[in-house]
Amino acid sequence: MDLSCRNVKFKLGDGTLGWPEVAPFDRILITASAPAIPKTLFTNQLKDGGLAILPVGTQQEQMLTAVRRHGDRLESTNISLCRFVPLIGQEGWPPGTP
């Protein structure tokens, strides 16, 4: 099946580190729950004015959150309660967290 998408790239690795070689990004979508907003990732790799969406909270319950970057400041807005699999990696959950 041809979807005619010509600007899609893939990378396998620690998603919390982002993809600095091709940053900055207009949008970032994270589909695993983070214990906190990954500030380093968004400050370094989200364009000024860019938008990120991710679930943030405990492993049992998260808040789907929109984060917009304004210079060095990140502004977050709660969207909805949710539950996702845990985000692992440098800015995710520590190994062995229940």
Kindly list the domain boundaries of the chain, sorted by start residue. 32-89
pTM summary value: 0.85
pLDDT at 22: 92
Q: How confident is the model at residue 89 (pLDDT cuts 50, 70, 90)?
A: confident
DSSP string, the chain: ------S-----S-GGG--TTT--EEEEE--SBBSS--HHHHHHHEEEEEEEEEEEE-SS-EEEEEEEEETTEEEEEEEEEE--PBPBSTTSBPTT--
